[in-house]
Amino acid sequence: MTTHAHAIHGTVTTRVPAEDLERVTADLAKTPGIRLADMFASDGDTTVLRLVWVRDSGYLLTETEIQNDHYPPLSDIAPAAFVEECEIYEQFGIRPATGKPLNRLMLPPHAGPEFPRLGHRPAEPLDEAHAPHTVGGQAFEFPFGPVRQVGVESLYYGLVTSGEEVVDLYLFAWHKHRGVEWRLRGRTPREATFWVERAEGLSAVAVGWAFAAAAEAALGIAPPAAAARTRAVALELERLYNHAAATAALCQATGLTVGQSAAEIALERLLRVNAAAFGHRYLFGVVSPGGADRAPDASLLRRELPGAYGELRRAAEALLRTNSFVDRLEATGILSAEQARRLGLVGPVARATGLPVDARLTADGPYGEHPVTVVTAEGGDVLARFQVMLGEAAESVRLIGEFLDAGTAADRTALPRGGGNGLGWAESPRGEALAWVALDETGRIIRARLRPGSVRNWRGFDDACLSQNAFTDIPIIEASFWLTAAGLAR
């Protein structure tokens, strides 16, 4: 590894020459305790490829200038990089040098030369709808989506099946592509927050916090401590309502309408607590670069939250005593710790395999003062994921109490005029959310990368659906992942 390493806000950045990129990636990928968290590109005089690695002590960012539109096939070394290789080719026209098949992921098939991209158009636009899938023997491909049941986002499943067993599964999410990263260019971080929160609305606080932290790192500032605790209260409320929603979705997927109603009552109460405490059911408008724009009503939270959470706990306890529910969750959608590590999975999905992956562990600020107890399980199945969510909901209530006792406020550190680059992160209900921002001298965004937790975990969904699982297990597995198409197709 090379040169010019420097550390800002818990992130070490280092330049890696293109000829060393393959070797450095291989070394890092096989180092215990290090995982690849993201890979993205930015355009300027040259295209720069950045890889984000996570260690116990913080984040490592490597930067490599790419010449001739080619770079080493990194997903052959670190499989977690494949989705990003596809996305980078669509947006920037650079691809692995081996010419390996890439999937169409983000941009629709009709995306012509005039279609807004972050970089330049691929020299050979992808004609194939997806990388070739072998369909042999009695197997056939069963298309499902993008229009699905009411209330579920547009998402296309390509199911390869022999009739009942899932042989292969791939996803298209480009029906929902909104070009959020493209829309952020030229805006100030404060202006951009509106779009950032909407990249994955169910993780508005987490993605907003990651983005705000990235902008703060770029500008060399930190939010006031009380404002950081305000963000943390909102983040844990976001986790609570998402885990309640996942519980309701699990009941729906297993056909338990009474359990679904009980979980949805808990969900509605939690959303009303959000609205009463912060003025928005989904907690939009709380996080702002430099601090927080809204402070919670602490007395209301202390009064109302125990009842709303108690509703969820009672529903969950009843579900765990219901054999017809537990039987559908046990041994369904199993992922091993090795699969989770290899694919770079995050959040409850990774923690249910025993991996203590949690961005709150590498965060300073409120989580440094009030450490989180990371909940893990060993089974790697849907039941383990459900149990992790329930444990995390209890932990969120405890943390919210501590943050409120320590004091919260709507307060901001002024953003200085100037430029720079920065990386930020936060632990969303569905796992680590990352953001990287480059600002010009006037403080406007040149390039913003948003990587919600869903982007990582969808790549584990097909593995979880394969082998031993039938069609009817897929909605159960999807509910236990509790991901969004929006986060992937931002």
Partner 1 sequence: MPLWFIRGLRRGVVTTRYPATPDGSAAALPTPPAFRPGELTRDVTDRIVAVCPSAALARHGDVLIFDAGNCTACGRCAAAAPDAVTSSGEWELAATARSALRKEIPILGERS
**Which CB sits closer to partner 1, 142 or 194?**
194
CB of 128 to partner 1, least distance (A): 36
Q: Is the previous residue joined to 289 through a cis bond, with omega within 30 degrees of 0?
A: no
CA-CA distance, 346 to 335, in Å (whole number)? 12
The residue (of 130 and 281) whose beta carbon lies closer to partner 1 is 281
Nearest approach, Cβ of residue 272 and partner 1 (Å): 5
Residues that bind partner 1 (CB under 8 A): 191, 194-195, 272, 275-276, 279-281, 284-285
